[in-house]
Copies of this chain bind each other. A is one copy, B any other.
């Protein structure tokens, strides 16, 4: 059996249709179609039920899926472990970071890093969701969280304080907030329910009356941009805000969060990954904009 067909099988199983699977495998859908037929022929059994709106695993396909996933995991582990043993200061490093970090902080840092290690090529993947470092979708993850997943290793480089911000236009209209008790006397840009997993927002949601919330957004960046229009105040971590908003007072509920640099244990001793981890650690700890 051509083992590589397992990759195509997995892509189809996950995507549910050929076109999406083809994108994942970067190939044409007709190629994926033909390779699936090859696999089915070689295994002499139908792996998918062809429905009008996609491919669905047959029982035999489900069976294969179990093994295919183990095969993939094993291959990923091999790749990681070999990459982890490479102490040379060259090659690619993939960093994933949330929007604000990727836009406001990384560009300057990486420009500096490139001067020191011109042989290391860095790719930035903007995302805040749990990319699969197992599958090496990224090598280093920069995340703001209180508790990173325990299958990753790394260090807490900063603690991020939260503040209440507002722009000058709104401040002129509504005056300054000076104590958290007055919270319901102001208009607010609130978080979308999807953000309530963040402790600070959870507290906010429970303590601010709904009618005080003039607008919501599903990303911190969008919240900041809305606050910049002067619609209301906003509660945000320090890293999310630039000079267009004025820092009014500390916001302590939720205990803030921490900025973590994370990587997979297998990759910890890779030369290039270690180099970038160390460089970023220094960059972030020396970052004046992020000190409360």
Contact = CB atoms under 8 A, between A and B. Distances in A.
Interface of A: 1-7, 43-45, 60, 63-64, 67-68, 70-71, 74-75, 77-79, 81-83, 85-86, 91
B75 A45 contact: no
A78 B82 contact: no
Copies in the complex: 2
Given A44-B82, A44-B86, A45-B86, 4 more contacts: A3-B3, A3-B75, A4-B4, A44-B91
A43 B80 CA distance: 9
A83 B91 CA distance: 43
Contacts of A77: 67
Contacts of A91: 44
B44 A63 contact: no
Contacts of A45: 82, 85-86
Contact of A68 (B4, B64, B78): B78
Contacts of A83: 43-44
Contacts of A75: 1, 3, 6, 67, 71
